[in-house]
Chains A and B, each alone.
Chain A
Amino acid sequence: MIAIRDLRKEFGNGTKALRGIDLTIASGQFTVLLGPSGAGKSTLLRCINGLVKPSGGEIFFAGSAVHGVKQLEDVRRQMGMIFQQFNLVKRLSVIENVLCGRLAHSNVFASCLKLFPQQDIEYALHCLNRVGLSEKAYQRADQLSGGQQQRVGIARALAQNPKVILADEPVASLDPRSADRVMSILREINRDDGITVIVSLHNIELASKYAERIVGLRDGALVVDKSGGALTPWEVERIYGGKYADGADDCCDFKQVNYAPA
């Protein structure tokens, strides 16, 4: 479904976010990108749908390389994205937010007048129903709790009828219960609809609970790639650093301790 070859990203300030990632994601897989903040998880996800332009390497989607604006829009239409901060349009109603997922499938002129086909509206309601929020459809998005807003985010992605859902730290701003609910909805979508899901997380427990495959990132490089089962302590330390990471002498990594005042 998605093949990534030697993907590199260097930002304007010289930060090397990705240092040559090779990764192939099979259709229908539930993959978790695991790693500490700054490991490059967000950048990797954003390169996949072109929100971030890679500095080097190639990305193939459904067999063909992604080049050019038109092709990029076509790829984006087939990929839903979910964000840590939900990124809903706060002043719009819940259903309008979900309908935003239909924009790329709609007539530009009609949609700019806020006109949607009846079947799109019904489909949006159906998507809301799947995340358990159909009774909130006509409330303003900012009146919902964080967990509910994230479920609207999922409904918006579902409304796109995507082949892939990319979720960038979808539960990092949520309490444990809401986080669990959001993760199980993602798993359900993955199993029932066969949508390929790629989720970035920094929580090892959630990752082991839901992932079919865990891809560990550290400092922009792929350090662990494991299908099924819990991570071994050695793998955890490959990702998060510690005494096994770069050899035994590195057990007290003072470089990571920041005493500077915030």
Chain B
Amino acid sequence: MPLRKNPSLALRPITPWFGDAQVVMRRLLLLAVLVAIYVWSAFGTNLNVAELIRGIPQLGDIISRMLPPNLNILPRLVGPTVETLQISIWGTTLAIIFTIPFGLAAARNIAPHPLIYKASRFILNATRSISEIIFALVFVAAVGLGPFPGVLALAFHSVGMLGKFLADSIENIDSGPVEALVATGASKWQVIIYAIVPQILPEFVTLCLYRWELNFRSATILGIVGAGGIGFELITSMRLFKYQDMTTVLIVVLVMVSIVDYISSWVRSKII
């Protein structure tokens, strides 16, 4: 029995899978639990294949009404598209600015005090777990309709993810150079700038670019709750049953997301 616990595969004795009744029982039990969870969730969500099949003709009907896309509205989409891009740029930038102090404070190895470490981790977890749409609803209520609440929503939600990754990468750095700089008598900020920043910078820049891609995608739906960008056009055309307009908006979103992804990966390849 003790040998079974050995993590090394090479050292595991070769026994048939049914060789140990206890192990077989445990696996069957695990399987039963998993099946139970899936069945329970299926009931909770009214999972129903028949309904899906019955819905196919209607789906076809909607698609047929979406085609061909109404390209005449393209000029009208230029403004909201640019606005979406602007929202993503400022949302990401503000997030990066807020992330730096929180990320530093949430890294165990440089946090000034365990309580500050815990508090920063808590704030980062909290903002990460609240979706940008919910933030957008809150900020629309606070500062009114328009792109600005969208910027704030993206910034607040992004801080959670960026800060967590920043803190984790600071915790995973090679501690040797830090020790060496402390040994020279350098002050804490000098150690951060010279021993920590160079080690985490490439990873952090990559992360920020990735966050920008995600934020652009999110910015395309912020308009649905009145927080600016092309999402407003999307929801308007849907509400007015102008499905051909909607198709054009979706195409614009698709193209813009691809362009942003492309720019981001190009910049990344230039940096690393």
Interface of A toward B, CB cutoff 8 Å:
49, 51, 73-81, 83, 85-92, 96, 100-101, 103-104, 106, 108, 111-112, 114, 153, 156-157, 160
Contact = CB atoms under 8 A, between A and B. Distances in A.
B186 A100 contact: yes
13 contacts: A73-B187, A81-B180, A83-B179, A87-B179, A89-B195, A89-B198, A90-B199, A91-B199, A92-B194, A100-B181, A100-B184, A103-B184, A156-B184
B181 to A, nearest CB: 6
Given A73-B185, A80-B184, A160-B184, A103 B179 contact: no
Given A87-B176, A88-B177, A112-B189, A104 B184 contact: yes
Interface string B160-189: 000000000000000011011111111101
Contacts of B201: 91
Nearest to A78: B185
Interface in B176-225: 176-177, 179-187, 189-190, 193-195, 198-199, 201-202
Interface of B: 176-177, 179-187, 189-190, 193-195, 198-199, 201-202
Contacts, number: 83
B183 A111 contact: no
Contact of B198 (A80, A92, A103): A92
A156 B180 contact: yes
B177 A87 contact: yes
A76 B185 contact: yes
B176 A83 contact: yes
Nearest to B200: A91
A112 B190 CA distance: 6
Given A74-B185, A91-B199, A103 B180 contact: no
A111 to B, nearest CB: 6
